[in-house]
Homo-oligomer: A and B are copies of this chain.
């Protein structure tokens, strides 16, 4: 029977301390629901009384299926009784089954920051926890600055823990508040604490200031801790908190622990991670451990041919265990094996010893040396491959285009700018000329192309451009630089594809990427060439 590790999520409290994080009440409710569904043991919802958002959350706190909701706060103020402390009243007023109180365990902090005596601080800890327990709540004690405090004065730091333990705290959590501790220190200090308080249930709360919050948390588990406090994607003040998304798979798949998350639920960990990014309007980190889009991506040709033999060659776990998938990339480093693999995924039939594959590999390498990047533009790669293999339909030919940008400064110093584009295309036997305006030369070109093509290909009404990226490849040449444009397009179902263009002329590069975007879509509709 595997030992159980308890997961305590502080995304909604400590996570929301980070710069740029502003959860609405709706965000908090949605995140709490997702954490509960995933199998998190404790959800710290906020600090009752600290701000209107947290109060509104606790007023509407959802019925959880599995998790216990926890309210965070401080031990009572100096010189007051716990039952008469307004802060504790707010915390208890939230009515949560669990409560987490933070208190000081570093004597220097007690004296300089709190400005109370070390003995009064111990009473503040025990009084506050006893009061919470008497109200029927499960009490957690966050020992703030515990590791720094222990290094400075181990006796006092342990006295603070004992005060909480003797008051009946269910969990005593050792906090590396400043995030500066090393895993070997954490292991040694937790082991010391375990020998002094062998029956206390210990937790760990780490910050990522040396990029070791995950390792510090796991070192604490190896030393006997059984609760981990962390946040989804490691969000949190400064460099963030311990990242539960990286911790949970390692605990379950590598260290053999049981958590509240089942093997089935573990497959949803990527969705949980992306939910937080969605709520924060952030682009997910494609390199995130376990859940990143690139976490199981293979680029080097050497790796890919070995992968084809056995996936253990370059994968530390089976990506399916965490609901992720393997990704084979085409690029500069591509060998034949990558390219063949990609063609197969695209449904392009070609024999493995076809001479034209070598030619394709060479073109990809040469173009990537110029600045093309096919790994981020697989639709353009597919068109290149089909072109070479004689399988590329032509829906239109560009004969010429003109893009004009005209700006006039008005007497009040504002600018009046007009962008206009003209295109001349041959579509089958027909020659078509159209003109359109836009709010920049590329937008005008896009409009003019659609105006010319939509009467022949009404399906184009169901696609649109959803992203447009420009990268200067030779920045030392400044405005004369080689430019790469990547366009993301989507169909009416939200399915996306990516195309690129590279040229010294930004408009030419954009035009090439537009051509590929339109052609790939029409090809996928199964439409005949013009």
Please report A residues at the B interface, Cβ cutoff 8 Å: 16-20, 22, 24, 26, 50-53, 56, 74, 109, 112-113, 145, 177-180, 182-184, 208-212, 214-216, 218-219, 222, 237-240, 243, 246, 249-250, 254-255, 279, 281, 286-290, 292-300, 302-303, 306, 309-310, 312-317, 327, 329, 331-333, 365-366, 368-369, 371, 373, 375-376, 397-409, 415, 417, 419, 438-443, 445-446, 464-476, 478-481, 483, 487-488, 504-508, 510-511
Contact = CB atoms under 8 A, between A and B. Distances in A.
The residue in A298, A300, A309, A475 that gathers the most chain B C-beta atoms within 10 A of its C-beta is A475
A316 B340 CA distance: 51
A440 B504 contact: yes
A366 B52 contact: yes
Interface core residue of A51, A211, A409 (most chain B CB under 10 Å): A211
Contacts of A397: 409
B466 A478 contact: yes
23 contacts: A20-B373, A53-B332, A74-B302, A109-B313, A112-B309, A182-B250, A209-B295, A210-B246, A211-B289, A212-B218, A214-B215, A215-B216, A239-B288, A400-B406, A402-B404, A404-B405, A439-B480, A440-B504, A440-B505, A467-B472, A467-B475, A467-B478, A478-B488
Q: How many copies does the complex hold?
A: 2
Given A109-B313, A254-B180, A507-B405, A469 B475 contact: yes
Nearest to A240: B287
A438 B508 CA distance: 13
Contacts of A214: 210-212, 215
A375 B313 contact: no
A316 B179 contact: yes
Nearest to A300: B17
